[in-house]
Amino acid sequence: MSNFPISQARMVAFFAENIIYGLYLVTLGYTIGALFSTGTRWRHIRELNYGMVVVTFIMFVNTTVGLVTGFLVIWQGFLVPLEAGGGLASFTDISDWRPVLKSSVLLYQTMVGDAMLIYRCWALNNRSFRRIAFSFGMWCGGTVCAVFLIYYMATLHSHELVSSEKLHPFGVAFWVLTVALNILFTALLIWPIWQVIKENEEFGYQSRTSHRPNLLRNVMRVIVESGLLYTTMAFMTCVAYTSNSNVLYFFASSEVGVA
């Protein structure tokens, strides 16, 4: 994929992003249903988890902005004349506001998603700051890398996103931290649930009723599957970035909807 033309990479990335956005809207519908309904009735305004509602709205807006920006990038490259600043050459100007905004959407979505994982780990581990201190430090490091990435993208006016000497170290560090954080977060989320399941089995809880153990196992399976999906996408993005491949555009665009 090292010789994957950037014009083709942009087209494939936009196509994949549209498909994943459609799937994202389906999952968003389930999320909204869980936030505003108990399954049998609508939640009272005092029963709403306003924090989750706000985060869900922010991630929806951010994902939509990313899709619209991707369309503008394609429009600029294939439909705007070269004399007006368009043409395929526009794909290589990483300091144009469209690629900068597109990258900002990806980095912001990733940081918000990781921040929510930190919150869940904190809540599930008896609100112990000690257990999330190291993870929070890694998240702060990733945030610093993201800030430098956006700054250099907006000011370098380079014609190569994945091979700029100033961008590359921060990009690699950001994605390595993201992959490591998601592996760690998934383990921290699963461990308390697994302990409860084992304790229930040891005390014969499962012999009396299998509803709660099965529910906990389903929760654990969902956490593992979602964590594996997102970690895989982050890992592939990291590999593409590290190897200076234009396939990075495909994985990066796909990851916004997955996050």
DSSP string computed for 110-176: HHHHHHHHHHHHHHHTTT-HHHHHHHHHHHHHHHHHHHHHHHHHHHH--S-TTT-TTHHHHHHHHHH
CATH value at residue 136: 1.20.1070
The contacts of residue 27 (CB under 8 Å, 6+ apart) are: none
Spans of the chain, pLDDT less than 50: 1, 207, 209
Rounded Cα–Cα distance for residues 96 and 156 (Å): 10
In a domain, 1, yes or no: no
- Give the three-state DSSP class for 55: helix
Alpha-carbon torsion (117, 119, 122, 123), positive or negative: negative
- The answer to whether residues 182 and 116 touch, using CB atoms and an 8 Å cutoff, is no
Burial of 39 from C-beta contacts in 10 A (0-12 / 13-18 / 19+): exposed
Per-residue burial over 18-28, b = 16 or more CB atoms within 10 Å of its CB, e = otherwise: eebbeebeeeb
Residue-wise pLDDT for 150-174, tens only, equals 998 888 766 555 556 778 889 999 9
Report the b/e string of 52-90 with b at 16+ CB within 10 A: eeebbeebeebbebbbebbebbbebbeeeeeeeebbeeb
pLDDT recorded at residue 1: 47
Query: Is 109 in contact with 66 (CB distance < 8 Å)?
Result: yes
In this prediction the pTM is 0.84
d(C-alpha 16, C-alpha 247), whole Å: 12
* 218 in any annotated domain: yes
Q: How many domains does the chain have?
A: 1
Give the pLDDT of residue 162: 53
All residues at 6 or more sequence positions from 126 whose CB lies less than 8 Å from its CB, including other chains: none
What is the token pair recorded at 72?
């503008």
pLDDT of residue 158: 62
The whole-number pLDDT of residue 59 equals: 92
**Cα 250 from Cα 9, distance rounded (Å):** 7
DSSP secondary structure code for residue 43 in this structure: P
Per-residue pLDDT, 138: 92
The single residue listed with the structure tokens 């004349």 is: 81
On whether residue 207 sits in a domain, the answer given is yes
- Domain residue limits at 105: 6-258
pLDDT of residue 3: 65
Mean pLDDT value across the chain: 84
In a domain, 232, yes or no: yes
80, 87 in Cβ contact below 8 A?
yes
Any domain includes 65: yes
